[in-house]
C-alpha cells in the first residue's frame, strides 16, 4: 500500500509539472465531530471545453475515523459558457480510489454555480454527492470566496458541510492557487 501511495504521489507531481494550468494546495479542517483534517493538492488543465483535474487528498493521523486515508481523484468539470446576471453553472464528475487499510473506489458528481463580486473577488457554491462502493454515500456542500492577490496567485476560503452515514459535520478550508 505504501508503494501505491508513493507511486500516486509521484504521478501526481509529474502530471502537475507537465500539464498544469493551475496548481492548488489547501487544508480542510472539520470543526465539530471527528476532527477530520486533510491536506489537498489539485492540478487542473483545460482540455477543450472541459477542465480536467487530478486531486490528491490526505487525511492526517488525528482523525479517528479516517486516519491516514489518501484519496486519488480524477475529475472532469464542464462550465456552461453563458453567464446569466454574472452567474455561471458547472457540473463535475469524478472517479477515485481511497488508499488506507484497504482500497475502496468511489465516484461522485458535483454541481454548482460561480460568479464574480468584482475584478478581484469571486465566489462559488457547490453540492457534491460521492458514492463509495460498499461504504455508502457522502454529501458535501461548499461555499468559497477567492481573492486574486495578483495575476498568478489566488487565496481562497471555504465553509464546508458534510453529511455521511446519517451524521452531519462542518468545517473550514483555506487554499492557495497558482495560475501558470
What is the rounded CA–CA span in Å between residue 34 and residue 67? 10
Listed as own residue / partner, the contacts of 6-14 with beta carbons closer than 8 Å and 24 or more positions apart are 8/56, 8/70, 8/72, 8/99, 9/56, 12/41, 12/43, 12/54, 12/56, 12/72
CB 125 within 8 A of CB 96: no
What pLDDT does 104 receive? 83
What pLDDT does 122 receive? 95
How much is the pTM? 0.80
Give the domain ranges of the chain.
2-179
Burial pattern 133-158, b for ≥16 Cβ within 10 A else e, equals eeeeebebebebebebeeeeebebeb
What pLDDT does 117 receive? 93
Per-residue tens of pLDDT for the chain, all 180 residues: 445 555 555 555 555 556 668 889 999 988 887 667 888 889 888 887 899 998 988 887 555 555 567 888 989 999 888 888 889 999 999 999 888 767 788 999 999 999 999 989 999 999 999 998 877 888 999 999 999 999 999 999 999 998 887 788 899 999 999 988
> CATH topology for 2-179?
Porin (2.40.160)
What pLDDT does 46 receive? 84
Residue 84 C-alpha cell reads as 446569466
What pLDDT does 98 receive? 84
What pLDDT does 1 receive? 45
Q: Work out the number of other CB atoms within 10 angstroms of the CB of residue 38.
A: 20
What pLDDT does 15 receive? 54
Amino acid at each position: 500500500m505504501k508503494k501505491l501511495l508513493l507511486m500516486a504521489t509521484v504521478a501526481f507531481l509529474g502530471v502537475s509539472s507537465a500539464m498544469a494550468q493551475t496548481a492548488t494546495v489547501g487544508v480542510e479542517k472539520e470543526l465539530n465531530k471527528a476532527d477530520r483534517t486533510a491536506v489537498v493538492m489539485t492540478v487542473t488543465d483545460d482540455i477543450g471545453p472541459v477542465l480536467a483535474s487530478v486531486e490528491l487528498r490526505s487525511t492526517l493521523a488525528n482523525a479517528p475515523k479516517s486516519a491516514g486515508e489518501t484519496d486519488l481523484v480524477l475529475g472532469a468539470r464542464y462550465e456552461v459558457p453563458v453567464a446569466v446576471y454574472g452567474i455561471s453553472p458547472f457540473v463535475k464528475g469524478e472517479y477515485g480510489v481511497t488508499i488506507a487499510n484497504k482500497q475502496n473506489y468511489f465516484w461522485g458528481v458535483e454541481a454548482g454555480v460561480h460568479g464574480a463580486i468584482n475584478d478581484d473577488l469571486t465566489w462559488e457554491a457547490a453540492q457534491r454527492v460521492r458514492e463509495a462502493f460498499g461504504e455508502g454515500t457522502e454529501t458535501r456542500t461548499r461555499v468559497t470566496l477567492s481573492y486574486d492577490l495578483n495575476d498568478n496567485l489566488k487565496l481562497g476560503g471555504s465553509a464546508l458541510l458534510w453529511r455521511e452515514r446519517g451524521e452531519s459535520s462542518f468545517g473550514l478550508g483555506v487554499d492557495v492557487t497558482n495560475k501558470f
